[in-house]
Structure 1
Amino acid sequence: MTRWRAVGAGFALAACSEALVFAVTGRVTLIGGLAGSALAGYVAGKKPAEGAWHGLLTAMAWGIVLIPGLVALSVVTDAPLPFPIEYLLPFLDTAGEATALILLSASLPNVAAGALGSLTRRQDDRTRSGRRSPSSDPDES
């Protein structure tokens, strides 16, 4: 089941952090989306699969806003591509390779960040509970 509160929290963090980075540097990165996906995974729960799912949803929701914004920025201000894509694009030969790179860089790292957020939540819960054994945790099965 999707926890939209987790996706909303991740989206808010992605938007705020990217706005801050853009205000300071004048550049767009994909780092805000990673942070948002990690937060979404953390808020979603302790299962890595749930964290991965919520990280992906956060990335896709953020991408719906970010991509048109990047297109507008590139038309109006001649802004560069987001980091790290701007450095990888010269090594690609076809539009298909570029499309695959952009799609994979916008999804796979966010899935991993969401799963890592869930694992962090699990570790935090274990630390808070103290002596509880991992096998007694109902969310781990």
Structure 2
Amino acid sequence: MTRWRAVAGGFALAACSEALVFAATGRVTLVGGLAGSALAGYLAGEEPAEGAWHGLMSAMAWGIVLIPGLVALSVVTDAPLPFPIEFLLPLLDTAGEATAAILLSASLPNVAAGALGSLTRRRDDTRGRSDEHAGRRPAEGEPEDAR
């Protein structure tokens, strides 16, 4: 089941970070989407598959806003293609190769980032549980509930 709050959190981080990068450099990258996907995966839970799904959902939601924005930007200004696509397209020969490269570069890294976000959540939760257990232990004869 999709956790829409996780997707919204990832979308918000992607939008804010891309806005900051664009304001600072005048360029658009796909790095904000990666950060948003990682956050979405972290918020989704400890399962890498859930993190991957939520990372992809966050990236696709961000892409729905980003792509028309890029088209408008390229019409109004001479904005270059987003990083890393600007470096991939000269290496490709056909429209099919270009389409596949764009779709894969805009989705697979986000899936991996979402899965890594979930694994980070798992590590944080495991570390938190071990910190709880490292605290005071009940004395001999004292019930375990008494702390």
Instruction: State the TM-score, normalizing by the size of structure 2.
Output: 0.88
Offset from partner CA, 1:70-111 (integer Å, 9 cap, x none): 000011011000001101110100111110000001110000
Larger radius of gyration: 2
2:56 counterpart residue number: 56
Distance in 1 between residues matched to 2:86 and 2:111, nearest whole Å: 22
Distance in 1 between residues matched to 2:71 and 2:91, nearest whole Å: 22
C-alpha RMSD of the superposition: 1.3
Secondary structure in structure 2 of the residue aligned to 1:130: helix
Question: Is the helix fraction higher in 1 or 2?
Answer: 1
Unaligned residue ranges in structure 1 (runs of 5+) = 133-141
Distance in 2 between residues matched to 1:38 and 1:49, nearest whole Å: 13
Please report how far the alpha carbon of residue 40 of structure 1 lies from its aligned counterpart in structure 2 after TM superposition. 0.1
Distance in 2 between residues matched to 1:87 and 1:107, nearest whole Å: 17
Distance in 2 between residues matched to 1:62 and 1:105, nearest whole Å: 14
Are 1:82 and 2:82 matched, yes or no? yes
1:124 counterpart residue number: 124
Distance in 1 between residues matched to 2:131 and 2:17, nearest whole Å: 36
Partner AA of 1:14 in structure 2: A
| 4+ residue segments displaced more than 2 Å | none
Unaligned residue ranges in structure 2 (runs of 5+) = 133-147
Distance in 2 between residues matched to 1:131 and 1:53, nearest whole Å: 30
2:11 counterpart residue number: 11
Secondary structure in structure 2 of the residue aligned to 1:62: helix
Please report how far the alpha carbon of residue 131 of structure 1 lies from its aligned counterpart in structure 2 after TM superposition. 6.7
Distance in 2 between residues matched to 1:48 and 1:89, nearest whole Å: 31
Distance in 2 between residues matched to 1:48 and 1:131, nearest whole Å: 23
Are 1:100 and 2:104 matched, yes or no? no
Sequence identity, in percent?
A: 85
